[in-house]
Amino acid sequence: MKKFLLLFLVSALLVVTAVSAEITFWKFTDTYADATIQRFVDLWNEENPDKKVVFETFPWGDYTGTKLTTAFATGKGPDVFFISPGDFLRYVNAGIALPLSEYLTADIISDFLPETIEAVTVGGEIYALPLEMEPVALFYNKTAFEEKGIAQPQDWAELTEIAAKLKTPNRHGIIVEVAPGYYQNFTWYPFLWTAGGDVVDENWEKSTFDSEGAVAALDLWGSFVKEELAPSSLPAGANDIGIFGNGLADMIVCGFWGVKQLQTEFPEFDFGVFPIPPYEKGGESISVYGGWKMMLNARGENTDIAAEFAKWLVAEQIDFPLDWCTVTNSKFSPRYSVLDAGEVFYSTPPNDVFLEILKTSKSEPTFTPEMVKAVSDALQAVMFAGMDPKAAAKGASAAIDAYLSRYTGGVPGK
């Protein structure tokens, strides 16, 4: 009898141990890509039976809307979660993001491109693990370009002329994001930077948005809609390059992820890619790369295990990031070792074009929601309310200055 009780107690203890180490991992739903993550989560769970990871996904609109903020507000936030650059500071400044420096060795950190670590560093502390880099470019319909004898644009004036030449009664010349928010700003920043503009100074002490570059970039996107070169509404977000594949327009401003989507969903579609053209001929083309990060919940009950899992998935092994970036998706890894392992993929057209674009790209700014809104409001006012670009830039700059005068949070990269 005693032997039976002893075995029973040991078995019960093992069960309790497994359950007590459970952590949750959240992201938005991606029907195509989520299976890859689940496969590696399953592998982790098999190798670590006492440290179970539960992977959950939520519809894009919910996840990028209020799902995370509500969960953390009620004390039910996930242990590990995907975060966009646009929301990064929200969680750092709120004390939700777990500092990660103590978990990362010098060898791990040195495998990441320095600028990708800088983008997730605040006050000398690393608050997320970079997962991917996705430069923005212009995708174009090769057949349409060849039929109309169109060459790659060398400046904004030529880009506008080409969009007008491509436009037909049933098709637009170009697609840009029209919905306000992080993504629209993200795809607009290359135009701002290429024209010599920016949002704030390096130390976030004052706005630099009231500039000729900002006015020019606002005016360009406003003209796309006003002249009906671009649609004023979209059947889906412009991050879904399927709207381009379905023939809504013959050009679209989109990111590297669009390559895999087009190749998978439109295998017969003959498309090409070229960099965002400079403001004037001979100028510099500057792009932006975005990419989701993995952030950990500082208020979680199992922070050490969450850090162990996230480090294993993203920073210690090559298998997951290589699969994630070159098989499941078309993305650049922020790690030197993975980029080297994916050399064949990255040198294959049109990926090789993005590789060149990446060399002159900047990381997506991790502005606060208030700063994002000021820029977004200016864009929306010019595109849809007929506001003069100079007035929009001036108003946004004033709003940013007013906000910075009372801002006490962290500055990325500092």
Cα dihedral: 215, 218, 221, 222 (round 10): -90
Which residues are registered as beta bridge partners of 362? 288
Average pLDDT, stretch 220-236? 98
**Helix orientation angle between 85-93 and 182-194, rounded to the nearest 10 degrees:** 110
**pLDDT for res 341:** 98
Is the model's pLDDT at 321 over the cut of 70? yes
**pLDDT for res 31:** 86
Is the model's pLDDT at 412 over the cut of 60? yes
**pLDDT for res 16:** 46
3-state secondary structure the chain: CHHHHHHHHHHHHHHHHHHHCCEEEEEECCCCCHHHHHHHHHHHHHHCCCCCEEEEEECHHHHHHHHHHHHHHCCCCCCEEEECHHHHHHHHHCCCECCCHHHCCHHHHHCECHHHHHCCEECCEECCEECCEEEEEEEEEHHHHHHCCCCCCCCHHHHHHHHHHHCECCEECCECCCCCCHHHHHHHHHHHHHCCCCCECCCCCCECCCCHHHHHHHHHHHHHHHCCCCCCCCCCCCCCCHHHHCCCECEEEEECHHHHHHHHHCCCCCEEEECCCCCCCCCCCCEEEECCEEEEECCCCCHHHHHHHHHHHHHHCCHHHHHHHHHHCCCECCEHHHHHHCHHHHCCCCHHHHHHHHCCEEECCCCCHHHHHHHHHHHHHHHHCCCCHHHHHHHHHHHHHHHHCCCCCCCECC
Q: Considering the chain, what is the average pLDDT of its residues? A: 95
54: alpha, beta or left? (left if phi > 0; alpha if psi -120 to 50):
beta
**pLDDT for res 414:** 84
Average pLDDT, stretch 382-411? 98
21-133+291-363 and 135-289+368-405: same fold?
A: yes
Question: At residue 203, what are phi and psi to the nearest 5 degrees?
Answer: -100, 10
**pLDDT for res 335:** 99
CA atoms of 405 and 325, how far apart (whole Å)? 40
Task: Write out pLDDT tens, residues 157-178.
Answer: 999 999 999 999 999 999 999 9
Is the model's pLDDT at 181 over the cut of 50? yes
Task: Write out pLDDT tens, residues 343-370.
Answer: 999 999 999 999 999 999 999 999 999 9
Average pLDDT, stretch 115-144? 98
**108: CB partners within 8 A, 6+ apart:** 311, 315, 316
**pLDDT for res 95:** 97
CA atoms of 299 and 382, how far apart (whole Å)? 42
Is the model's pLDDT at 230 over the cut of 60? yes
**pLDDT for res 2:** 43
**Among positive and negative, which fits the CA dihedral 371, 373, 376, 382?**
negative
**Among positive and negative, which fits the CA dihedral 19, 314, 139, 362?**
positive
150: alpha, beta or left? (left if phi > 0; alpha if psi -120 to 50):
beta
Classify domain 21-133+291-363 by CATH number: 3.40.190.10
Is the model's pLDDT at 15 over the cut of 80? no
Is the model's pLDDT at 18 over the cut of 60? no
CATH classification (class only), 135-289+368-405:
alpha beta
**pLDDT for res 32:** 87
Is the model's pLDDT at 55 over the cut of 60? yes
Average pLDDT, stretch 203-211? 98
> What is the percent of the chain with per-residue pLDDT over 70, rounded to a whole number?
95
The ranges assigned to domains in the chain are 21-133+291-363, 135-289+368-405
Is the model's pLDDT at 373 over the cut of 70? yes
pTM: 0.93
**pLDDT for res 20:** 56
**pLDDT for res 119:** 96
**pLDDT for res 111:** 99
